[in-house]
Structure 1
Amino acid sequence: MLLRLDGDPTQAERERHRGDRERLVRGPMIALLRDVAGADEAYEDFHVWGFAKMLWPWQRQVGMVRVAPNVELGVSFDLDGLAVQCSWWYAPGEQVERYRHAVAGEAGAELAGLVEDLAEEGYEIGGDLLKRVPRGFPPGHPRADLLRHRSLTAARPVGGEAWLHTPEVVDRLLAEFAALRPLTTWFAENTGPELSATGASVRP
């Protein structure tokens, strides 16, 4: 199906294939994430992207699992096969500030280790970066590169082998998500809403 949407099809051509695209691409992604959520309740809060006027969403199917505010695990499928991603993104300013102070403090060493390990395992580390270390932090800080992040992602391709069309794909995706869980846990614990002494969320 995605082969029909390769290249630069017009909006009219895309709309002509909408029904098949929904049935053959988006539908299976929904089914996959339902199976993943059935195997681990931590993945129950998921959504699967629909279509838009932009060409990019038509040529690949994306599904996201919400782990914490602005922290998501993602899976995408296109003509190159399946890919996975962990994302901390679209964070409000107060969350970015908590991230920076965590990176500069003791928790930052743990994040640096997680990011280094994922990079060695073939994950591409990305995100929105400031040109310089933000104000209030020394330019020569040992984790200066991490301090420059306003968002952080870790992504890698999984492949498009025969297992992609078998029940094995669920186990493969669960294994990939498990490998990314330490990173999502770090962000959930260090950038999420602050807690009061009673355990209630404190909104800045």
Structure 2
Amino acid sequence: MTRVAAPAKIGTMTFTGFPDAAFEFYEGLEADNSKAYWQDHKAIYETAVKGPLTALLDELEPEFGQAKVFRPHRDVRFSADKSPYKTQQGAFLGTVVGVAGHYLAVDANGLLAGGGFRAHGTDQTKRMRAAVDSPAGAELERLVIDLRAAGFEIAGEQVATTPRGFAKDHPRIELLRHKELMALKRFGAPAWVSTTRARSEVEKAWRALGPINAWFAEHVGPSTQIGRPRR
């Protein structure tokens, strides 16, 4: 892969791609998830990861909504895993706040783009399942099939058995098991990821998610609750 030098100052950048150093940084972090590693390589994180990502998001915001860059530090208060840092840098752009949007991440494996519905309350999961059980569910099923054919994988927390109130032989039982539903495209680290083509590939992926995001906006809506969905 051709290396691209990232400008040193964040906030005044034009996106030119993600350099190899971004993925190498996370390879090292996976091997040594420590404060010492982070401090020793912080300049690489700033110029090779955060800088290009911020520049890319600045260029994508007008079409896809306001961006939020996630903190690189893990919340370890309630986790048995006390590793202090996330092994990827993620960001979210919401077209419909609290319902659906677009996700982008950089890690040791390369670049990932995705989107869809991330549940924030049981009420959202309930409305999604009701819509899946209705004639509108056939449209979601078709959208999922189309996204898989386009190279997306379908993700999102789901129950292993049949959700309450539905028959185990329901024609859309696979969708009903989902508490939330997202579509992800893993680009990896091909040569173009270090060029401006990375922007057009992300745009293409996110535009393909437009119909499914619209479905969730229409049939799910924001949550009025706090907390994660239950079965």
CA deviation vs aligned residue, 1:96-138 (integer Å, no higher than 9, x gap): 1110110000110000111112122221112111132222222
Distance 1:57 1:125, change over 3 A: farther
CA 1:193 to 1:24, structure 2 compared with 1: closer, same or farther past 3 Å? closer
- Of 123, 126, 151, the residue aligned with 1:97 is 126
Q: TM-score, normalised by structure 2?
A: 0.75
**4+ aligned runs moved over 6 Å, structure 1:** none
Is the Cα–Cα contact under 8 Å of residues 35 and 84 in structure 2 kept in the other structure?
no
For 1:161, the equivalent position in structure 2 comes to 190
Q: Distance in 2 between matches of 1:134 and 1:79?
A: 36
Q: Residues of 2 paired with 1:57 and 1:118: CA distance? A: 32
Name the structure 2 match of 1:33: 57
1:22 alignment partner, one of 38, 46, 55: 46
Q: 1:193 to 1:37 in 2, by over 3 A?
A: closer
**What CA distance in whole angstroms lies between the structure 2 residues aligned with 1:56 and 1:26?**
18
The CA deviation string for residues 66-95 of structure 1, in whole angstroms up to 9 with x for no partner, is: 122232211111232211111312331111
- Cα displacement (A) at 1:193: 4.6
- The gaps in structure 2 that reach 5 residues or longer are 1-20, 75-81, 226-231
Which structure features the higher share of helix residues? Answer: 1
Of 66, 74, 85, 1:45 maps to 66
Which letter does structure 2 place at the counterpart of 1:32? L
Structure 1 vs Structure 2: percent identity of aligned residues?
A: 31
2:89–2:106 CA contact under 8 A, matched in 1: yes
Q: 1:82 touches 1:158 (CA, 8 Å); kept in 2?
A: yes
Letter aligned with residue 31 of structure 1: A
Q: Which residue of the partner structure matches residue 131 of structure 1?
A: 160
Higher relative contact order (CA 8 A, sep 6+): 2
CA contact 1:85–1:156 (8 Å) conserved in 2: yes
Secondary structure of 1:17's match? helix
Aligned residues: 193
What is the letter of the counterpart of residue 44 of structure 2? D
| 2:119–2:125 Cα contact (<8 Å) kept | no
2:193 partner letter = L
**CA deviation profile, 1:34-87 (whole Å, cap 9, x unmatched):** 11124x2xx131111221146595432211111222322111112322111113
1:62 and 2:86 correspond = no
What is the alpha-carbon distance in structure 1 between the residues aligned to residue 127 and residue 93 of structure 2?
22
In structure 2, distance between residues paired with 1:171 and 1:55: 34
- Listed one character per residue, the Cα deviations across residues 142-198 of structure 1 (whole Å, up to 9, x for unaligned) are 01111111111211212423332332222221111111111111111110059xxxx
Equivalent position amino acid for 2:37 in 1: E
Change (3 A) 1:144 1:180: same
Letter in 2 for 1:59: T
- TM-score computed with the length of structure 1 as normaliser: 0.84
Structure 1 position 172 matched with structure 2 position 208: no
